[in-house]
Copies of this chain bind each other. A is one copy, B any other.
Amino acid sequence: MAKIYESVPNISEGRRPEIVAEIVEAMKAAGSAVVLDVSSDADHNRSVLTLAGDEEGLFAASMALFETASKRIDLRAHKGEHPRMGAVDVLPFIPVRGATMADATALARRVGEEAARRFGIPIFLYAESATADNRKLLPDIRKGEFEKLAEKIARPEWKPDFGPSVIHPSAGVTAVGARPFLIAYNINLGTNDLAVAERIGKAIRMSSGGYRFVQAKGIPLEGRGIVQVSMNLLDFKKTPIHRVFETVRSEAERHGVPIVGSEIVGLVPQDALLAAAEHYLRIESFSPSLVFENRLETER
């Protein structure tokens, strides 16, 4: 069975659809990787692309991405609300099926090294692939943005992992790395009292004492007259969906409020939902290879 990854390149172009389309077409033409989603934001002047594929497919798509984006996007002329430092601003690789974080890091290193060599773009390895503490978090790497990066990367502690200690004149620098799958998961509450959703969000998010890999806030769903706990689950293997769900249920109950539903925004790895089924059905010795389709995939 091939190891499958997601990749979510963020590019610094969200206002010229023809440029975004050209970059997407180049990535599709490069090989077997599949483009699952393209989402552009004009205010941010930024697009988020979602790809899936194996190592070879994503390597080829990444090279096409760097080649086309560095030709068509000039950071010297770029304005937008979102902080940015490169034409390809950030390029994460996410292990989804049959692949480990070490595999994803190996892929990130291979892509970063080759992009630096071919296109002269300085590359920082970030997140799970970071080679030093100061480059684990994107905001730390990106601080100063394109305009001040030239000076920053000349300093020894900001020497890029690959490529020159000089920014690419128009394409800036890029962060490449491995990270866990991010699940956007929201739970809808049977009340219109925003304070309840806000209190629950506070209870479960890391920043105020909750779960390590949860970001959460309360928001109103105006159209439905109810409120929602809106969440990002940053590592579903360590903070699983069902644990978050049960904690939200318990906190809501204390206010006499029921959970009326939940929603997955975007996509979710099969393993995240299988883990929920395993938990609630109390399945002993569970393995994803008990699933018929997975077994067929393995045996082929």
Contact = CB atoms under 8 A, between A and B. Distances in A.
Contacts of A280: 242, 245, 276-277, 280
A296 B267 CA distance: 10
Give how many copies assemble into the complex: 2
A295 to B, nearest CB: 6
Q: How large is the interface on A (under 10, 10 to 19, 20 to 34, 35 or more residues)?
A: 35 or more
Contacts of A17: none
Interface string A148-191: 00000000000000000000000000000000010000001000
B284 A6 contact: no
A260 to B, nearest CB: 7
B268 A284 contact: no
A282 to B, nearest CB: 5
A292 B269 contact: yes
Contact of A4 (B241, B264, B293): B293
A285 B242 CA distance: 18
Nearest to A267: B292
Given A270-B270, A274-B277, A291-B270, A283 B296 contact: no
Contacts of A96: 292-293
B281 A242 contact: yes
Interface in A222-278: 241-242, 245, 259-264, 267-270, 273-274, 276-278
Contacts of A242: 280-281
Given A280-B242, A300-B34, A290 B261 contact: no
